[in-house]
A and B are shown apart, each in its own frame.
Chain A
Amino acid sequence: AGPGWLSVRPSVPPAALMDALVLQERLVERLLSPRPQAPRSQPGRLKDHEKQYVGFATLPNQVHRKSVKKGFDFTLMVAGESGLGKSTLVNSLFLTDLYKDRKLLNAEERINQTVEIVKHTVDIEEKGVKLKLTIVDTPGFGDAVNNTECWKPITDYIDQQFEQYFRDESGLNRKNIQDNRVHCCLYFISPFGHGLRPVDVEFMKALHEKVNIVPLIAKADCLIPSEIRKLKERIREEIDKFGIKVYQFPECDSDEDEEFKQQDRELKESAPFAVIGSNTVVEAKGQRVRGRLYPWGIVEVENQAHCDFVKLRNMLIRTHMHDLKDVTCDVHYENYRAQCIQQMTSKLTQDNRIESPIPILPLPTPDTETEKLIKMKDEEVRPISACTSLVLELESK
Chain B
Amino acid sequence: AGSVESKNEAAMSELVPEPRQKPVVPMKPMGINASLLGYIGIDTIIEQMRKKTMKTGFDFNIMVVGQSGLGKSTLVNTLFKSQVSRKSSGWNREEKIPKTVEIKAIGHVIEEGGVKMKLTVIDTPGFGDQINNENCWEPIEKYINEQYEKFLKEEVNIARKKRIPDTRVHCCLYFISPTGHSLRPLDLEFMKHLSKVVNIIPVIAKADTMTLEEKTEFKQRVRKELEVNGIEFYPQKEFDEDLEDKTENDKIRQESMPFAVVGSDKEYQVNGKRVLGRKTPWGIIEVENLSHCEFALLRDFVIRTHLQDLKEVTHNIHYETYRAKRLNDNGGLPPMTVETEENHESNL
Of B69, B71, B129, B292, the contact of A296 (CB 8 Å cutoff)? B292
Complex interface: chain A residues within 8 A of B344 (CB)? none
Taking A148-B131, A192-B70, A295-B212 as contacts, is the C-beta distance between A222 and B283 under 8 angstroms?
A: no
Does chain B have a CB within 8 A of A190? Answer: yes
Near A by CB (< 8 A), chain B positions 94-109 give 94, 97
Contacting pair A296 B284 (CB below 8 A)? yes
Taking A106-B221, A111-B185 as contacts, is the C-beta distance between A146 and B284 under 8 angstroms?
A: no
How many Å lie between the Cα of A190 and that of B177 in the bound state? 10
Complex interface: chain A residues within 8 A of B187 (CB)? 107
Of A192, A292, A305, the contact of B205 (CB 8 Å cutoff)? A192
Does chain A have a CB within 8 A of B280? Answer: yes
Complex interface: chain B residues within 8 A of A193 (CB)? 67-69
Taking A106-B182, A222-B206, A224-B278 as contacts, is the C-beta distance between A147 and B132 under 8 angstroms?
A: yes
Counting chain B residues whose Cβ lies within 8 A of the other chain, the interface size class is 35 or more
Q: Mark A279-297, 1 if CB is under 8 A from B, else 0.
A: 0000000000000111111
Taking A108-B229, A224-B278 as contacts, is the C-beta distance between A198 and B94 under 8 angstroms?
A: no
Near A by CB (< 8 A), chain B positions 16-47 give none
Contacting pair A221 B283 (CB below 8 A)? no
Q: How far, in Å, is A142 (CB) from chain B's closest CB?
A: 9
Taking A83-B181, A145-B189 as contacts, is the C-beta distance between A108 and B228 under 8 angstroms?
A: yes
Complex interface: chain B residues within 8 A of A296 (CB)? 280, 282-286, 292
Most buried by A among B134, B183, B184: B184
Does chain A have a CB within 8 A of B267? Answer: no
Contacting pair A295 B132 (CB below 8 A)? no
How many Å lie between the Cα of A29 and that of B29 in the bound state? 113
Of A104, A107, A146, A192, the contact of B188 (CB 8 Å cutoff)? A107
Complex interface: chain B residues within 8 A of A219 (CB)? 209
Complex interface: chain A residues within 8 A of B279 (CB)? 224
Q: How far, in Å, is A149 (CB) from chain B's closest CB?
A: 8
Contacting pair B177 A192 (CB below 8 A)? yes
Does chain A have a CB within 8 A of B291? Answer: yes
Instruction: Across the interface, name the chain A residue whose C-beta is closest to B71.
Output: A192
Does chain A have a CB within 8 A of B114? Answer: no
Q: Mark A134-159, 1 if CB is under 8 A from B, else 0.
A: 00000000011111101000000000
Complex interface: chain B residues within 8 A of A191 (CB)? 209
Does chain A have a CB within 8 A of B111? Answer: no
Does chain A have a CB within 8 A of B53? Answer: no
Contacting pair B281 A306 (CB below 8 A)? yes
Complex interface: chain A residues within 8 A of B178 (CB)? 83, 222
Q: How far, in Å, is A214 (CB) from chain B's closest CB?
A: 22
Contacting pair A107 B184 (CB below 8 A)? yes
Of B70, B188, B286, B289, the contact of A108 (CB 8 Å cutoff)? B188
Near A by CB (< 8 A), chain B positions 41-71 give 67-71
Of B67, B94, B209, B228, the contact of A222 (CB 8 Å cutoff)? B209
Contacting pair B225 A202 (CB below 8 A)? no
Contacting pair B280 A224 (CB below 8 A)? yes
Contacting pair A107 B69 (CB below 8 A)? no
Does chain B have a CB within 8 A of A298? Answer: yes
How many Å lie between the Cα of A294 and that of B209 in the bound state? 9
Taking A107-B225, A224-B279 as contacts, is the C-beta distance between A194 and B69 under 8 angstroms?
A: yes
Complex interface: chain A residues within 8 A of B115 (CB)? none
How many Å lie between the Cα of A219 and that of B214 in the bound state? 13
Instruction: Across the interface, name the chain B residue whose C-beta is closest to A106.
Output: B182
Contacting pair A107 B183 (CB below 8 A)? yes
How many Å lie between the Cα of A54 and that of B212 in the bound state? 64
Of B68, B129, B179, B221, the contact of A84 (CB 8 Å cutoff)? B179
Complex interface: chain B residues within 8 A of A306 (CB)? 281-282
Complex interface: chain B residues within 8 A of A318 (CB)? none
Instruction: Across the interface, name the chain A residue whose C-beta is closest to B135.
Output: A145
Complex interface: chain A residues within 8 A of B146 (CB)? none
Taking A106-B221, A143-B184, A145-B189 as contacts, is the C-beta distance between A194 and B68 under 8 angstroms?
A: yes
Does chain A have a CB within 8 A of B211? Answer: yes
Contacting pair B211 A294 (CB below 8 A)? yes
Give A contacts to B, CB under 8 Å.
Answer: 81-84, 104-108, 110-111, 143-148, 150, 190-194, 197-199, 202, 219, 221-222, 224-225, 234, 292-300, 305-306
Q: List 20 A-B contacts (CB under 8 A).
A: A82-B181, A84-B179, A104-B182, A106-B182, A107-B225, A108-B185, A147-B131, A191-B209, A192-B205, A197-B129, A198-B131, A219-B209, A221-B209, A222-B209, A294-B285, A295-B291, A296-B285, A296-B286, A297-B280, A300-B282
Give B contacts to A, CB under 8 Å.
Answer: 67-71, 93-94, 97, 129-134, 177-189, 205-206, 208-209, 211-212, 221, 225, 228-229, 278-286, 289, 291-292
